[in-house]
Amino acid sequence: MKLKLALFAVMMFGLTVLTGCEPLTVLDPKGPMAERLASDIMLTMLMMAGIVIAVFAMLLFMLVKYRASNQPADYEPPHIEGNPWVEGILVGIPIIIVAILSVVSVQSNYIVESAPTGYEDKEPLVVYASSSDWKWHFSYPEEGIETVNYLYVPTDRPLEFRLYSHGPITSFWIPQLGGQKYAMNAHVTTLHLAADVEGEYMGRNANFSGEGFAENKFDVTAMSQEEFDEWVDEVKDTADPLTEKKFEELLEPGHLGRMTFTGTHLEFSPAPEHHEKGDKYKDGHEDKKKHDNHSASKKESSEKEHMNHNE
C-alpha cells in the first residue's frame, strides 16, 4: 500500500511539473532541416526511454522474485563463474545502439550541410548574418538593405546564411528552422536553411559571449515571396541609408531594438570571406607585396643607373 502511494505521488508530481513547461521548439519544426533534426532527437529519446524502461522493469522483477522473504531460510545462491549470454547482451546492446546513432548522425550531418531537400533547383536568398556585442546584423546584398535584430525571409525558398562575428564567437540558431552554427571573427561559415510555413520564430545566440548574452536574440518572420518583395520595396522607399559612421556606432557594446537601413555595411566593411583560404592566402599576399616592393626598388635603382650613365 505504501509503495502504491509513493508511486502515485511521484506520478502526480511529474505531471504537475510537466504541465508548467513550455513546448520544445526543436520538436516543432517549420523547415526541412529542423524536421531532420527533430526526427533524430525523437529517435534518441525513444532509444533512451526503451533502455530506461527495460532496466527498471528488470530491477522490479529482481526485487520481487529474489526478495529475502521469497526464499527459504537456508537458501544459498549457486556459485556462478560467468554467463556468456548475459555478457554478450550487456556488451552487444550498447555497441548496436552506438552504431545506429553513429550512422544516423553522419547521414544527418551531410543532409543539413547541403541545400535543403526539395529546393535544389531554386535560387537561394543570401543573407550575411553578423553578430556584435550584443546584437545581430542581417545584410541582404542582392536586395541592398540591412536590418538589426530582426530577420524577414520568404517561404518555399532556400536560405543561405553566411555567418561571422565582429567580436567574440557566437552561435546563430533558429530552433524551428534548423540547428545552430558558429559565427567567428575573421572567418565566414555557411548555414543552409528553409522555411516551409509562414509565421514568427525566435532566433538567438546560443554561445555565451559576455554579460549581454541573455538578451542577444532576434525575431524571424517567414512570409510569402510576394510579401517579402513588397517589404524590400518599402524599406528602399522609407529607410535611411547605412553609413560607415552609423555602423561603427552600432558595433559599440549594448542592446538595441529593431532597426532598418538601405544599403549594407558590406560596401565599406566586407565580410572576411578571403580568410577561408587559410594562411596560404595571407602568406601569398605578403609574398606578393614583398615581391612588388622588391621589383619597384629594383626598377628605381635601374633607372638611376641609366640616368648616371647618360650623364
The answer to whether residue 309 is domain-embedded is: no
Contacts of 240 (CB under 8 A, 6+ apart): 261, 262
Global confidence as pTM: 0.76
**Residue-wise pLDDT tens digits, 92-112:** 999 999 999 999 999 999 999
Q: Which residue has the higher pLDDT, 226 or 68?
A: 226
Give the pLDDT confidence score for residue 300 in this predicted structure: 53
Q: What is the mean pLDDT of the chain?
A: 85
Indicate the burial class of 57 (C-beta count within 10 angstroms; 0-12, 13-18, 19 or more).
Answer: exposed
pLDDT band with cut points at 50, 70 and 90 for residue 75: confident
The answer to whether residue 159 is domain-embedded is: yes
CA distance 111 to 28: 19
Give the pLDDT confidence score for residue 177 in this predicted structure: 96
Predicted confidence (pLDDT) at residue 297 exceeds the cutoff of 70: no
Residue 224, domain CATH: 2.60.40.420
Strands 189-194 and 158-165: antiparallel
The answer to whether residue 5 is domain-embedded is: no
**Residue-wise pLDDT tens digits, 35-70:** 999 999 999 999 999 999 999 999 999 898 888 787
Amino acid at 149: N
Predicted confidence (pLDDT) at residue 200 exceeds the cutoff of 80: yes
Q: Which residue has the higher pLDDT, 65 or 162?
A: 162
The answer to whether residue 156 is domain-embedded is: yes
Q: Which segments within 158-216 are labelled E, that is strand?
A: 158-165, 170-173, 181-183, 189-194, 199-205
The answer to whether residue 55 is domain-embedded is: no
Give the pLDDT confidence score for residue 280 in this predicted structure: 37
The answer to whether residue 77 is domain-embedded is: no
Give the pLDDT confidence score for residue 21 in this predicted structure: 54
The answer to whether residue 196 is domain-embedded is: yes
Predicted confidence (pLDDT) at residue 275 exceeds the cutoff of 70: no
**Residue-wise pLDDT tens digits, 251-269:** 999 999 999 999 999 999 9
Predicted confidence (pLDDT) at residue 291 exceeds the cutoff of 60: no
CA distance 232 to 252: 27
Structural domains of the chain, count: 1
Q: Determine the structural domain holding residue 182 and report its residue range.
A: 125-267
What average pLDDT score do residues 148-174 get? 96
The answer to whether residue 64 is domain-embedded is: no
Predicted confidence (pLDDT) at residue 121 exceeds the cutoff of 50: yes
Among the listed residues 271, 287, 127, 145, the one whose alpha carbon sits nearest the alpha carbon of residue 203: 127
